[in-house]
Amino acid sequence: MSCPISDEHISQLKSFIEMCRNTPQVIHHPKLSFFKDYLASFGVSIPTAGFSTKNSAPSGDSGANNKPEAAQSSDDEPEVESDVELDMDGVVEPDVLSDSQVMGDLSKEEVSDEERDQSDEKRSEAMRAFSEQKFDEALKLYNEAILLNPLSALLFAKRGQIYLKLNKPNACIKDCTRALELNCDSAAAYKFRGRAYRLLGKFEEASHDLCESLKIDYDDQANEWLNEVKPNAEKLRQHKLTVQRKKEEKEHREKLRRLHAAREARSRARGADAGGFPGAGAGFNPQDFSSLLMDPDIMAAFQDPEVTAAFQDVSANPANFVKYQNNPKIAAVIEKLQGKLGKGGGLFSGGFPGFGGAGGPDSGPKPPTDDDVGLD
């Protein structure tokens, strides 16, 4: 089956799709309601950015969707961007760039004096045609001038102005971009490209270019155009800041959540290392403690309330062991445990007083003996 659409219409469709991609809020334009309904019939998710004109209410979609989206506050739910209500008066349909747009020999590095003089003559004729509002004739003359001198930024900027008059903002942008490649300080190129962006509804780009133009060379018309796009550009700027702030806040909450989870995991790990046995040291192995519990003598010893109470007291403060060091019942249990785990390690790696560990009486000062009496 052959394509029922001509190549020209296909090109226009591609340009329209590109505009929708760059400026999705244009889908909410009242004149494009048929297209929006068509997309919705396929279940396509329509962008929520609102579209409005002066003295008109926002699109129904933006207002209807705003409340339920604003209700989403859970960290697990996706962040919803706020609606942006823009004044789209004056926005035009984009033109389709043509391969026939004369750009001259881009590889040319020098222009002869003769070519420059001839190009200047064509430019003068084009300016006269422009002043008489003969825009098609002026365009033709600028094309001839550019063929003679493709290195003139002024020629591309002035032809961009003609394209503005012919409602071809994309062609104007192409010309002015080329002019800025040739001369980055071309105030005219920034001015006309800024106006072209405004016609396409690209308000932030328009504001940037018009500001650059005014920095280079103040112009009343450029200033007027800038004041026209400032409200929309500021709304978009604030919108992006809000979205970025919400994103950073969400990332911060997520970071705090991960830190909290990590702290809880470490706390649980410390509890697991302790094996549920009060006073267990960092080197304690829960498997060793399990094997101890299987020893019938140790199991029997811990059935004695006196032994259990003593171990709880010593676990709370190892220094309290001095209270039990002369208790043979407690000493026997400690000796049994150390025999199972090994002296100076495992459960008693910190050492209990009197049992060879760090901080025990064996490592501290000894009581005086008879041999020490009288020695000073």
Find tokens 């591309």 and name the residue.
Answer: 156
Which tokens belong to 283?
């080197």
In the chain, what is the straight-line distance between the N-terminal and C-terminal CA atoms, in Å?
118
Q: Where are the alpha helices (DSSP H) in the chain?
A: 7-22, 33-41, 60-70, 113-131, 135-148, 153-165, 169-182, 187-199, 203-216, 220-274, 286-293, 296-301, 305-316, 328-341
Q: Specify the amino acid at residue 195.
A: R
Q: Within 13 A of 259's CA, how many CA atoms are on the CB side? A: 6
Q: Model's pTM, two decimal places?
A: 0.51
Burial 360-370 (b: 16+ CB within 10 A, else e): bbeeeeeeeee
Domain map (residue ranges) of the chain: 33-66+77-89, 102-274, 286-361
The owner of tokens 């999705």 is: 24
CATH topology match: 102-274 vs 286-361: no
CATH code of domain 286-361: 1.10.260
pLDDT tens across the length of the chain (376 residues): 567 777 777 777 777 777 777 777 777 777 777 777 777 776 676 665 444 444 433 333 334 344 444 344 444 444 444 467 888 888 999 999 888 899 999 888 899 999 999 999 999 999 999 999 999 999 999 999 999 999 999 999 999 999 999 999 999 999 999 999 999 999 999 999 999 999 999 999 999 999 999 999 999 999 999 999 999 999 999 998 989 999 999 999 999 999 998 888 888 877 655 544 444 444 445 555 556 656 777 777 777 888 888 877 877 777 777 777 788 887 777 777 767 665 444 444 444 444 444 344 444 444 444 444 444 4
Q: Report angle CA 88, 91, 97 to the nearest 5 degrees.
A: 150
| CATH for the stretch 102-274 | 1.25.40.10
